[in-house]
Amino acid sequence: MMSDMIITVDNLMKSYKDLPVLKGVNFTVKRGGIFALLGSNGAGKTTTVKILSTLLTADSGEVEIDGIGINHPKKVKEKISLTGQYASVDEMLTGRENMDMICDLRGVENKKQLVESLLNQFELAKSADRKVSTYSGGMRRKLDIAMSLIGNPAVIFLDEPTTGLDPQSRLVLWDTIKTLAEIGTTIFLTTQYLEEAERLADYIAILNEGMIIAEGTTEELKKSMPSNVIEFSFEDFSEMEKARGLLQDYKVRADKDGLRLAVAVNNGIDQLTEVLNDLKKGCINVSHFEQKLPTLEDVFLNLINEKERLA
């Protein structure tokens, strides 16, 4: 009987010389859908992906991909595909030639039919016979992901796939990723963009200093917040900065473009009253305020700050 879990990671550990990077990582990934591994730079996300995709050997721990241990790298590689932070395409070839090359490497039958289907699916058919050097960043990324689908992998690892993309290309790629999940492909996503994880992921694990410090659905993680978020709007930048300085003892997130401050306050009215009194005493003009549901960024920052406080 096929397991619901397509990836299991048990007590994964890895050090570079004397520097421990993974310190006993544990998580599972359900078959189908989108799993996001979040963490700051240096948290161990890329090291985890490299181990799971057999590009790097762990010091200890056990990993299975679709029932196969990563101590059998050849069999695991038949089940997976990896797209890194930068598109790994040959710029001197056309889009179609890149696709043909991967088909040949993987011994794909009906190559022409598959290539045409993928080019159409990723809206690359019109540019298929142009050299990739003429493609935009978004087009290269779409080609890279299209190539990763050749061979019908059970799991696609996307390691920070929207790095360097403009906002429009990022939105297009998000749609592509959601489409892949809808057809049953398991997506393992790492990203520094918390909005990206919030938009895409069915399940999230947060990695900090080599350990998983929280996991769950977006809603489950938000419910774990010990505070509400109050968003204050200001008429000008100077008023917002004065408020930010005055409220430095609270967890504050600034939206400079929107002239807004999001302030985490304990559940209940007492701390909200304290914040409002502080702003009034500071003669700071607030044009509007309202209670907001916490974002994934609020959850992430709260968890990291709490971890540092207890360290």
Q: Which domains does the chain have, with CATH numbers?
A: 5-222 (3.40.50.300), 226-293 (3.30.70.100)
For 254-272, the DSSP string reads EETTTTEEEEEEESSSHHH
**Could you give the 3-state DSSP secondary structure of residue 63?**
strand
State the pLDDT at residue 20.
Answer: 93
State the pLDDT at residue 248.
Answer: 82
**What is the block-wise mean pLDDT of the chain (311 residues), using blocks of 10 residues?**
85 93 95 92 89 94 94 90 71 92 84 90 90 88 84 88 79 84 90 88 93 92 77 90 87 83 76 85 88 79 70 56
Write down how long the chain is.
311
Residues 6+ apart with CB under 8 A from 247: 261, 263, 275, 278, 279
CA distances from 127 to 106, 114, 142, 197, 209 (A): 24, 17, 12, 30, 43
d(CA 267, CA 298): 15
State the pLDDT at residue 65.
Answer: 95
Angle, CA of 91, 97 and 98, to the nearest 5°: 55
CA distances from 214 to 8, 144, 223 (A): 16, 31, 12
pTM above 0.85, yes or no: no
